[in-house]
A = this chain, B = another copy of it.
Amino acid sequence: MSLDVSPPHFEDRVRALLAKGDTDALHRLVRKVSTAEIEEAFEFLDTEECQLILDILDTETAAEVLGGVDEHIQEDLTDALSERKLADLVEEMDSDEAADTVRLLEDDEQERVLDLLEDETEEEVRTLLQHEEDTAGDLMMVELAAIHEQALVAEAIEMLRENADDIKRLYNVYVVDSERRLKGELPLRDMVLARPGMPLQAVMSATEAWATPGMDQEEVANLFRKYDLVSLPVIDGDDKLVGRITVDDVLDVMEEEASEDLSRLAGLGSEDSFHALGIFRLSRERLPWLILGLGGGLVSGRILQGFETSLSTVLELAFFVPVIMALAGNIGIQSSTIIVRGLATGEVKGDAPWPRIRREILVSIFNGAVIGMLTFGVVWFWLQSLPLALLISSTMMLVVLWATLTGTVIPMVFTRFGIDPAYATGPFVTTTNDIVALTIYLAIAWRFRHILV
């Protein structure tokens, strides 16, 4: 990554002008930059400053900005804006963003804003609001070009000229029958290249991939990657076209899912933690995982206390507590991350995970052997005790194997029970492994205490 050494960031210039009270210059500045710049700056400005900028912008641009910023900023802004203003902005948005924005409101405010919308918009948004969050129905917009299969290319182009003015990000025409059932699609490129007198059904391509409204957004993203799509049709149970998802939303989904995975692996709580939330909100997200770690650590301590006699007789045993815990943690995270990531990208199949699990175990046996031999050498050289070296190194091998097993199996079990397997990575696996590894270690030491002394 390169460091940004460009002229002052837009948000700094906004702040400077606000401080000077120079609203004219602010007007000029805000109108000169693209909506993408404004959206980015909103990350760094406070709600009042953002609201001021929304007021300066024309309604269409303001709607685009409000629809495009991150959810946590949207939330603050929808709280701050009047219902009238909010309804005006929602009216101008693409249907998917309109629904996402209204969804953020409290139930009664939602109703009031919906009532302020034009009838057609209101109906669209109400329909979209029925879909669950993070599904294809939540991502889709209803604005699309659907043309009858018997129309000629020239007619289709004429229809687009007349009706497509408010369809942004139009890359394909969907070809449908009289019942609006999806028959195929025609990329604009092919439409431009096709002979104008051909009927659409003769020049269209078969639709390789489609979604249903209930499909999980992660699966939607995988379809885009697998089929190299820019837009995906959404059909209902009768094959009727109900909407489409565009790739710009998928880029955001991938970013969100990646953040979510990282966030769970690192024990950060929600993926929102990456944004500029307040201190207390951030603490609240992270504390549960820290307390889990704290609890696990204290349980480990209690286990150590249980083996107090062994420890006070052979104090050397305590020296290896850190290394056994470090390895159990690292190995568990390695294996669980492999499985969780594979499940997310579809490379590990939920119904056929065994090849991947078997591979993890083989890798672990090999790594366990290497780790075991290294440990044996170091401990023998360090403490000059063959029994201790044997004990520590064989425990290490067992711990490696055990940590791999929990790391691979826990995410699979979570998946079976419909829990996001990403929760199984990070603090959860580490804590479990710490406790079990320590118990294995001390139990073996206890069993062979007569040769250690």
Q: Is the CB of B171 within 8 A of A374?
A: no
Is A16 an interface position by the 8 A CB rule?
no
> Would you call A366 and B266 a contact (CB within 8 A)?
no
A189 CB–B CB distance under 8 Å: yes
Binds B, one of A17-25, A75-83, A108-116, A246-254: A246-254
In the assembled complex, the Cα of A224 lies from the Cα of B279 at a distance in Å of 31
Q: How many copies does the complex hold?
A: 2
| Interface 9-residue window, one of A49-57, A117-125, A136-144, A256-264 | A256-264
Q: A230 contacts B171, CB within 8 Å?
A: yes
Q: Does A243 contact B (CB under 8 A)?
A: no
Task: Say if the beta carbon of A5 comes within 8 Å of chain B.
Answer: yes
Question: Is A178's beta carbon under 8 Å from chain B?
Answer: no
A290 touches B188 (CB 8 A): no
The segment out of A85-93, A98-106, A156-164, A232-240 that lies at the interface is A156-164
A361 to B287, alpha carbons, bound, how many Å?
14
- Interface pair A36/B227, CB less than 8 Å apart: yes
A-B contact pairs, 16 of them (CB 8 A): A164-B189, A167-B189, A170-B189, A171-B189, A225-B252, A250-B251, A254-B254, A279-B359, A290-B331, A290-B334, A297-B325, A308-B315, A311-B315, A321-B322, A326-B430, A326-B434
Seen from chain A, the residues whose Cβ lies within 8 Å of a Cβ on chain B are: 1-5, 9, 34, 36, 39-40, 43, 68, 157, 160-161, 164-165, 167, 169-171, 188-189, 191-193, 208-209, 216, 218-219, 221, 224-230, 247-248, 250-252, 254-255, 257-259, 261-263, 265-268, 273-276, 279-280, 282-283, 286-287, 289-291, 293-294, 296-298, 300-302, 304-305, 308, 311-312, 315-316, 318-327, 329-331, 333-334, 337-338, 341-345, 347, 349-352, 359, 362-363, 366-367, 370-371, 374-375, 378, 382, 415, 420-421, 425-427, 430-431, 434, 438
